[in-house]
Amino acid sequence: MERTQLNGRLMILKRPHFQIPSLTEAQALLERVKEQFPLSELPSQLWEYVYYDTFDSRLYKNQQLLRQETRTDVGDESWLCWLSLTGNRVLQRGRSPVQESVIQQLPSIPLRPLLEPILHPRALLSLFKIAVQQEWLVWKNKDDKTVLRVMLESTQLFRENYLEDLQHRLIILPFRGYPKPSQQIIRFCREESLEELNEDLFQIVCSKLELKPGSYQPKPKLKLSPLGRTDQALRAILGESTKVMDLNHQGTIEAPDTEFLHDFRVACRRARSALNQLKGVFPPEQIQGFRDDFAWLSDRTGPTRDLDVYLLDFNSYQTQLPEEQQADLEAFRELLLTENAKEQKLLAKDLQSKRFQKFRSTWEQFLKDETPSTTPGGAAEVRKTASKRLLRSYHRCLAEGKAIDEDSPDEALHDLRKSCKKLRYLLEFFESLWSTKEFQGILKPLKALQEDLGQFNDCSVQQESLKNFGDMLAKQQPVPAQTLVAMGMLVSTLNQRQAEARQRFQGSFSGFASTRTQNRFNLLFQQPTVAEELN
């Protein structure tokens, strides 16, 4: 019998699936099967299957599926079934509570530890539901032991107001240690010229519903044309970010997990950075309103995101403390959860407010408007604009970094971090105008520098907030003294890590400012543009 090595450890029986064109043919086939083999019928069963994945299709990208199978004719049986996307293998099946949205609480044994590393921190969302009718046949040997089961599965897709027929399949469920019966039935199916299916229904339903699992990209790769106008390019850049914002808007309001907000916020920041950095592309009066709107959004999304980050990192905070003090932080967690819920509510309100709707509709008009900008900056060739901005941005980072010595205040590093971020955004916007290989050489030292500056900044922001949260807790009655002590210890480890990041800074900055990197920047961005070469 065919066994397969999966993930290098799980050995799972394949369950061959054969397609049957119609219900009448299915019934005729069942009769023929029963004539040829010692199969007896069991009562038929009705089920509903709901398919789940994360918003960014983590299971699908891992070649896997998760579906909840719920018996609907009798009883209250419900299972969570973890499947391979192709090859028709059940990786694991665990009983689940019968509820619509089970999935926030995965059954603890044994699926949870296997799925969590793949899913974290994303939530499972339901994708679609299908109705399943199963006709069962069993094959028993002369000891009355079951050695094979065969199932005829007829499926229908739940549409808004009706059920759409999907497929009839004959599914062979081999029994380990009893290979012959399944071999015989499989041979029979092949002789009947039934088509063997190698995939779950998932793909079929996705194409019917026009779902494109795995297509979501939080940072879409832009393709700009080098000779195009800057105003067109900027609209394209802003359009891509806006798409990402739209995709995450509802999820940010409902917040089944933290990543909708994260991606929404990043997309906002990118759009904002593009608007602010590429000055003069549109007349200022045309975009000033939008710049205010993006500043507002950035401001409004900040608090919830910060609290999300604390909560996501909470376990690592705890493990930084000696074991006997870890439990002391619980009061802090409670505080974070309460504040987070509060902020999330406010954010949801803002994202459904009149102001947001007005911004979104005027912004749409602006993006769709194809009238060329009246400014010279708008008409300029995009590669030229990009080169100029990139060089200027790089030299600014250089100057700021070179001015930093051991006595510089923390603010100097924070400012440099912001400048580097701006440079990084510019590089990402205009990446498609240059060859990938050339680009990697300048991205790498920048990324390394950003890594250290990011660490430095995170540690310092977190110390600050820990102190603020400490003040909030200190006002509670009774004052949770041990919690405050534990938080104090955290502040000092953060302080230590911040100092380490600052030490590493000199090293990563010297890579970023090396003659080699400087030459690379100058060479790439001082070249004459394509149009000049042609002249």
Partner 1 sequence: MQILASYNIKGGVGKTATSVNLAFQGAHEGARTLIWDLDPQGAATFYFRVRPKIKGGSRALLKGRHDLADLIKATDHENLDLLPSDFSYRTMDLLLDDTKKPNERLKLLLSPLAGEYDYVFLDCPPGLTLLSESIFEAANVLVVPVIPTSLSLRTLKQLVEFRRKKQLRNFKMLVFFPMTNP
Residue 177 binds partner 1 (CB under 8 A) = yes
Residue 9 binds partner 1 (CB under 8 A) = yes
Residue 38 binds partner 1 (CB under 8 A) = no
Stretch that binds partner 1, among 141-149, 313-321, 425-433, 437-445 (CB under 8 A): 141-149
Helix (H, G, I), strand (E, B) or coil at 470: helix
Amino acid sitting at position 231: D
Contact 45, 118 (CB under 8 A): no
Element of type H or E holding 150: strand 146-158
Q: Which residues contact 173 (CB under 8 A, 6 or more apart)?
A: 15, 148, 149, 150, 151
Closest approach of partner 1 to the CB of residue 112, in Å: 11
Stretch that binds partner 1, among 3-11, 37-45, 186-194, 527-535 (CB under 8 A): 3-11
Q: In the structure encoding, which two tokens stand for residue 277, read together? A: 């950095």
Report the residue from 136, 178, 216, 366 that binds partner 1 according to the rule CB under 8 A: 178
Stretch that binds partner 1, among 170-178, 292-300, 303-311, 411-419 (CB under 8 A): 170-178
Stretch that binds partner 1, among 102-110, 181-189, 219-227, 291-299 (CB under 8 A): 102-110
* Count of CA atoms in the C-beta half-sphere (13 A) of 460: 18
Report the residue from 55, 79, 202, 429 that binds partner 1 according to the rule CB under 8 A: 79
Pick the closer one to partner 1 by CB: 108 or 161.
108
Closest approach of partner 1 to the CB of residue 117, in Å: 15
The residue whose two tokens read 């995101």 is: 305
Residue 149, sorted as left (phi over 0), alpha (psi -120 to 50) or beta, turns out to be: beta
Closest approach of partner 1 to the CB of residue 68, in Å: 12
Residue 143 binds partner 1 (CB under 8 A) = yes
Cβ neighbour number for residue 321 with a 10 Å cutoff: 18
Residue 494 binds partner 1 (CB under 8 A) = no
Pick the closer one to partner 1 by CB: 148 or 427.
148
Residue 76 binds partner 1 (CB under 8 A) = no
Residue 144 binds partner 1 (CB under 8 A) = yes
Contact 153, 133 (CB under 8 A): yes
Closest approach of partner 1 to the CB of residue 64, in Å: 16
Report the residue from 2, 4, 10, 438 that binds partner 1 according to the rule CB under 8 A: 10
Closest approach of partner 1 to the CB of residue 104, in Å: 18
Distance CA 123, CA 116 (A): 10
Residues touching partner 1, count (CB under 8 A): 23
- Which residue pairs, CB below 8 angstroms and at least 24 apart, start in 518-523? 518/398, 520/438, 520/441, 520/442, 521/390, 521/391, 521/394, 521/442, 522/391
Pick the closer one to partner 1 by CB: 171 or 236.
171
Report the residue from 94, 214, 303, 511 that binds partner 1 according to the rule CB under 8 A: 94
Residue 42 binds partner 1 (CB under 8 A) = no
Pick the closer one to partner 1 by CB: 45 or 517.
45
Report the residue from 20, 33, 111, 245 that binds partner 1 according to the rule CB under 8 A: 111
Closest approach of partner 1 to the CB of residue 180, in Å: 13
Closest approach of partner 1 to the CB of residue 151, in Å: 13
**Residues 313-352 interacting with partner 1 (rule: CB under 8 A):** none
Residue 92 binds partner 1 (CB under 8 A) = yes
The residue whose two tokens read 């240059």 is: 434
Helix (H, G, I), strand (E, B) or coil at 380: coil
Distance CA 111, CA 80 (A): 8
DSSP string, 264-333: HHHHHHHHHHHHHHSTTSS-HHHHHHHHHHHHHHHHHHHHHHHHHHHHHTHHHHHHHS-HHHHGGGHHHH
Stretch that binds partner 1, among 176-184, 253-261, 345-353, 441-449 (CB under 8 A): 176-184
Amino acid sitting at position 523: L
Residue 179 binds partner 1 (CB under 8 A) = no
Distance CA 502, CA 414 (A): 11
Distance CA 47, CA 201 (A): 15
Stretch that binds partner 1, among 107-115, 227-235, 271-279, 284-292 (CB under 8 A): 107-115
Distance CA 488, CA 317 (A): 12
Amino acid sitting at position 528: P
Residue 110 binds partner 1 (CB under 8 A) = yes
Site residues for partner 1 per CB under 8 A: 3, 8-11, 79-80, 92-95, 107, 109-111, 143-146, 175-178
